[in-house]
Each structure stands twice: as C-alpha cells, then as structure tokens.
C-alpha cells in the first residue's frame, strides 16, 4: 500500500486542527482507511459512546483520550462543554480527532460542532463514516432500498419531544419506502401508534437492530403492531435502530450474519 493512501501511524498531523471523523457502525474493520490513519496519528481524541473499544485501541501511545459519550438520560459532557473542549484542545496546538459513531453528519451533531470551530477560527476536516442504518441493515440481512419494495429512504430521529411536533407522520406512513428511526427505542409505542393511525398497515415488517455489525448484535423481526411489546419481552434497549418497510422481509433469504 502506497504511503499516500495510508501514511505511517507516527506521521505528524497538522497541529491546531480538528478532524471530525465517522467511526462507522461498530465493527473496527468497517472504518475507512483515512479514519484509521487519523486515529493512529492524533494527539487527542474526543470520542462518543457508540465508538467501539476496538476502535479506540488504534490510538497511539500517549494520545489524550477524552470520553464524551451520550447515553439515554445520561450525558458525560453537555454539548456546549464538548464544543468548548474541541476549541481549547486545538488552541493548545494539538491535532484533534472528534470521533463519532456512524457518520458524524447523520444525527451526530457534527454540523453544530463545526459551526463552533468556524466561529473560533479553528481549521477542520470532515471524514465521513458508514452510517448506522447502512451497517445495521446489511448485517441484519436486508437492503434499505430495492426496486420492488422501496423507492424512498427516510432517516428520522427517534428523540420525539413535545408530542412529536415537527414529525410528518403522514409522510412516514406512505407506501414504497423504508423508514429508519435512530435512537427510537424509548418511543417505540408512539412510533407504532402514530404510523398505524396515519395509514401504515399494522402488518408492515419491522426490524430492530441493537449493536449492529458487532458479535453482540441482536436483531428482532416483527410487525408494526407487535414490535413494542416484543421489544419489552426481549428486553432490547438502546442503542438500537428501528427499520420499517417491506424490505425487512428480504432477511428471510438474504440474511448472512450469524
């Protein structure tokens, strides 16, 4: 492999700069080459809850590792404090990797953090990652789109607040599409009830994938009416994705991951 593709881990990155890096859905083998290189070279890494242990071990000895994870109802660091920390580390003339699970621009607050860096005059670069929806669906054995099943694909945040104001439930209940709810486990009952109330058949296939792409992956296949109760019975909690649509049925023939 040429040095231009994967420079040696000890190569020096530009000091005083922040790299916003997507860590992918969990399996370290799904990191991009660039993400792996930057993790191995960074002076400081600020990482989230969904970044797997196998990924953090790629950091060089002596790198400053700062956990800034957010779990349901428990935030290690408030977002404003994370923003301030990124600016502070860069101003200490460190090469900083801001490491986020999945892709940093898909429900990862990456845009918010970059706005702060821009205001502070801090240079940055963005390294996309495989988003959780793509990784979890592939490892659960179904595609997110298919000409005979889904001509549209919608990603929705599952953090439903204030009576779900702002969520276009009628649009999400339209046929011939796949809808992926990120961070939606706590709102499973509401998701089910709202979609059915807006016309999506109760028998619509649903998949719930927890710890997608990892050896600990759990996958529940159900339908729109029954999946909240089955989630409770199986005691599947976050982090997990909820996927609705007829593409989910394809796992019966396309499933490959144990």
CB atoms within 10 A of CB 125: 13
Q: How far is CA 127 from the centre of its chain?
A: 14
How far, in Å, are 70, 99, 110, 133, 258 from residue 117 at the CA level? 21, 15, 11, 28, 42
Whether the Cβ atoms of residue 244 and residue 204 lie closer than 8 Å to each other = yes
Cα separation, 219 vs 241, whole angstroms: 10
Which one, of 32, 58, 33, lies nearest residue 45 by Cα? 58
Q: Would you say how long the chain is, in residues? A: 258
Catalytic residue among 17, 27, 34, 70: 70
Residue 155 host element (H or E): strand 152-157
User: Which listed residue (27, 29, 43, 48) is catalytic?
Assistant: 48
What gap in Å lies between CA 254 and CA 140, rounded to an integer?
A: 9
Rounded-to-integer distance, Cα 18 and Cα 231, Å: 39
Residue pair 130/25 in contact (Cβ under 8 Å)? The answer is yes
| Cα separation, 221 vs 224, whole angstroms | 10
**48: annotated active-site residue:** yes
Active site residues: 48, 70
């Amino acid at each position: 492999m040429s040095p231009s593709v994967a420079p040696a881990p000890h190569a020096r990155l530009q000091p005083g700069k922040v790299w916003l890096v997507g860590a992918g859905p969990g399996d370290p083998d799904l990191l991009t080459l660039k993400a792996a290189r930057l993790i191995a070279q960074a002076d400081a890494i600020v990482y989230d809850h969904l970044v797997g242990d196998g990924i953090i071990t790629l950091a060089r000895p002596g790198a400053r590792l700062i956990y800034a994870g957010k779990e349901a109802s428990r935030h290690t660091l408030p977002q404003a404090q994370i923003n301030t920390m990124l600016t502070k580390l860069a101003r200490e003339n460190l090469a900083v990797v801001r490491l986020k699970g999945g892709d940093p621009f898909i429900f990862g607050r990456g845009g918010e953090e970059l706005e702060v860096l821009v205001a502070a005059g801090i240079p940055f670069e963005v390294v996309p990652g495989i988003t959780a929806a793509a990784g979890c669906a592939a490892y659960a054995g179904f595609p997110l789109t298919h000409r005979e099943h889904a001509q549209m694909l919608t990603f929705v945040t599952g953090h439903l607040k204030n009576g779900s104001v702002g969520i276009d439930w009628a649009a999400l209940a339209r046929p011939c599409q796949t809808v992926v709810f990120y961070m939606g486990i706590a709102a499973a009952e509401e998701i089910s009830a709202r979609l059915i109330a807006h016309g999506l058949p109760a028998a619509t296939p649903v998949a719930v994938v927890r710890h997608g792409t990892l050896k600990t992956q759990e996958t529940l296949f159900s339908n729109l009416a029954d999946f909240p109760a089955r989630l409770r019975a199986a005691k599947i909690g976050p982090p997990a994705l909820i996927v609705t649509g007829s593409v989910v049925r394809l796992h019966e023939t396309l499933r490959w991951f144990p």
